[in-house]
């Protein structure tokens, strides 16, 4: 994480996003909270949620239809 922050500083960047398929240690999360740069950490679980939400690398395998009673139909009876 320190190298990433260092590269941001070297390029004059104030923001960065760091993505891993694994997870971040408490120390890494604490470190990015202390630095001046705004750094977003995306771990494997969040990456999976984002991929599903934005339909990237996923496909629909089943659709479930949920029905509700239309009470207006029965109001006239």
Q: What angle do CA 14, 56, 21 make, to 5 degrees?
A: 60
**SS3 category, 18:** strand
Cβ–Cβ contacts within 10 Å for residue 30, how many?
11
When divided into structural domains, the chain yields a total of 1
Domain annotation covers residue 13: yes
* Residue 9: per-residue pLDDT: 93
Per-residue pLDDT of the chain (77 residues; tens, 9 = 90+): 999 999 999 999 999 999 999 999 999 999 999 999 999 999 999 999 999 999 999 999 999 999 998 888 877 66
Domain annotation covers residue 77: no
Domain annotation covers residue 29: yes
Domain annotation covers residue 70: no
* Residue 76: per-residue pLDDT: 67
Region for residue 12 given its phi and psi (left: phi exceeds 0; alpha: psi -120 to 50; beta: otherwise): left
Domain annotation covers residue 11: yes
- Containing domain of residue 40, as a range? 2-59
* Residue 70: per-residue pLDDT: 87
Say if CB 57 and CB 51 are below 8 A apart: yes
């Amino acid at each position: 994480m320190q190298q990433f922050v260092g590269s941001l500083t070297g390029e004059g960047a104030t923001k960065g996003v760091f993505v891993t398929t694994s997870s971040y240690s408490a120390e890494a999360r604490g470190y990015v909270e202390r630095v001046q740069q705004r750094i977003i950490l995306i771990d494997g679980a969040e990456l999976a949620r984002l991929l599903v939400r934005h339909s990237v690398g996923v496909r629909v395998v089943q659709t479930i239809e949920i029905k509700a009673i239309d009470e207006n139909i029965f109001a006239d009876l």
